[in-house]
């Protein structure tokens, strides 16, 4: 016999439900994180309006419990003894080998349920530790937000800013000194007012230039991967930064600045001259985004099938872009071509600069690692070199 005494001060007992719920939500979050590579590349999310609910299958968590032998036989559970590694403990009967007369299982399965979360909640998990690498404080611009910040309490001010709680407290304190601790006989000396000011943020100028190959060599898979990457990139930038400029360039043999809607929906054909996109990006920087005042991030996605005679020009223009940029990112999509390296990738990788970051995507699940390659902690470490 033993007894346990519980004190009233052990408040963790009263919070058991809340603690279990918090633990459950943490397990759900961990399960979702383990599936991010598959979730990020889900086509139904990319083509949605951004408000879609995402369902993630998660194995259920059971509470620990003792399970007793229903037959109540005397036993201690250590087996019969005398066994060693490799011993055969049972055989499949005749006609029950692989593919022959298989019987239905009689053991209980594992329970799964689907956790629901919005695309916005999913984005918070994806963007948890992503940042624009090598972001410098160049010419700062002041951004006045709608939020206000209360900074002080004073005895005078507009009645719209009257702090009722502090006013009542001052009145009670004054009456208490006279031996009558109550609220009443309000006087001007009891009044307290909040003072406030607008919250002004200072943010570095930054522009991201998204370039995408829309030539005939870009098949359905290649265009989908490009749009999937840029879809999450745009959501990341607008979630994490209030006023980052994003410009969109689509190119085949010629490049054109397009709207965001055109960038994600239009289809093109024809040959490929990547230099046209780089030339337009440089022109855009020269006319609108002075590198002395702007942090510049060009990104280019292609299948790498560039016109061979255009590669040397691409290299020269890419070097100029890198010189003006904080980071230049190139992503190449090679479905089923794991060892193949395009002439464009080979040309760009000859540029010796830590600001050039390249990535290869061969499968849908590579989209999430590509985001981390460009914006994750690894990218920030490279940018500091």
Quick one: pLDDT at residue 326?
93
Angle at which helices 367-375 and 377-384 cross, to 10°: 40
In the numeric block, which tokens belong to residue 256?
Answer: 């054109």
Our CA angle for 139, 233, 213, nearest 5°, is 105
Q: How many of the other CB atoms lie within 10 Å of CB of 118?
A: 13
Q: Determine the pLDDT at residue 155.
A: 79
Question: Which range, of 15-24, 92-101, 300-309, 327-336, averages the lowest pLDDT?
Answer: 92-101
Following DSSP, what letter does each residue of 115-149 receive, concatenated?
EEEEHHHHHHHHTTT---TT----SEEEEEEEEEE
Tokens 């100029």, located at residue: 320
Residue ranges and CATH numbers for the domains of the chain are 19-62+111-126 (no CATH), 143-202 (no CATH), 205-384 (3.40.50.410)
87-110 burial string, b = 16+ CB within 10 Å, else e? eeeeeeeeeeeeeeeeeeeeeeee
What pLDDT score was predicted for residue 277? 96
What does the mean pLDDT of the chain come to? 78
- Give CA separation, 316 vs 58, 321, 323, in Å: 50, 9, 11
Name, in order, each residue with C-beta under 8 angstroms of 217's C-beta and a sequence gap of 6 or more: 272, 303, 305
Q: Classify 58 as helix, strand or coil.
A: strand
Please check the confidence at residue 84 and state whether its pLDDT lies above 50.
yes
Crossing angle, helix 311-324 and helix 274-288, to 10 degrees?
30
- Can you tell me the mean pLDDT for 302-312? 91
Q: Given this model, what pLDDT does residue 114 score?
A: 67
Phi, psi of 148 (to 5 degrees): -120, 155
182-193 confidence digits (pLDDT tens) = 888 888 888 888
| Residue scoring higher pLDDT (228 or 96) | 228
Q: Where are the alpha helices (DSSP H) in 15-118?
A: 16-34, 36-40, 43-46
Residue 250 neighbours by CB under 8 Å, 6+ apart: 211, 212, 214, 256, 258, 262, 263, 266, 268
Are the CB atoms for 251 and 214 separated by under 8 Å? yes
| End-to-end CA, the chain | 67
CB atoms within 10 A of CB 11: 8
């Amino acid at each position: 016999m033993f007894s346990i005494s519980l004190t009233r001060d052990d408040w963790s007992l009263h919070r058991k439900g809340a603690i279990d719920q918090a633990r459950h939500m943490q397990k759900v979050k961990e399960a979702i994180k383990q599936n991010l590579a598959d979730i990020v590349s889900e086509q139904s999310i990319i083509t949605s309006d951004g408000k879609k609910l995402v369902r993630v299958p998660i194995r259920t968590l059971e509470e620990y419990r003792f399970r007793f032998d229903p037959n109540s036989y005397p036993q201690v559970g250590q087996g019969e003894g005398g066994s060693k590694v490799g011993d055969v403990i049972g055989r499949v009967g005749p006609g029950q080998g692989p593919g022959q007369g298989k019987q239905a299982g009689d053991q209980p399965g594992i329970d799964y349920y689907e956790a629901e979360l919005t695309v916005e909640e999913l984005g918070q998990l994806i963007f948890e530790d992503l940042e624009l690498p090598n972001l410098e404080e160049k010419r700062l611009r002041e951004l006045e937000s709608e939020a206000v910040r209360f900074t002080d309490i004073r005895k005078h001010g507009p009645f719209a800013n009257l702090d009722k709680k502090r006013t009542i407290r001052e009145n009670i304190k004054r009456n208490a000194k006279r031996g009558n601790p109550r609220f009443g006989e309000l006087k001007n000396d009891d009044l307290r007012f909040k003072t406030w000011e607008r919250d002004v943020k200072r943010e570095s100028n930054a522009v991201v230039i998204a370039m995408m190959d829309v030539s005939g060599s870009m098949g359905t898979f290649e265009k989908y991967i490009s749009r999937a990457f840029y879809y999450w990139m745009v959501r990341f930038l607008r979630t994490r930064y209030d006023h980052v400029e994003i410009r969109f360039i689509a190119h085949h043999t010629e490049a054109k600045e397009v709207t965001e809607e055109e960038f994600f929906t239009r289809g093109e054909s024809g040959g490929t001259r990547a230099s046209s996109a780089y030339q337009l990006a440089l022109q855009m920087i020269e006319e609108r985004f002075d590198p002395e005042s702007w942090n510049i991030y060009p990104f280019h996605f292609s299948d790498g099938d560039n016109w061979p005679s255009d590669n040397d020009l691409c290299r020269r223009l890419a070097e100029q872009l890198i010189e003006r940029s904080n980071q230049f990112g190139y992503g190449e999509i090679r479905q089923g071509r794991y060892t193949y390296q395009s002439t464009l990738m080979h040309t760009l990788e000859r540029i010796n600069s830590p600001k050039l970051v390249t990535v290869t995507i061969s499968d849908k699940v590579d989209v999430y690692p590509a985001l981390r390659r460009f914006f994750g902690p690894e990218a920030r470490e490279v940018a500091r070199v």
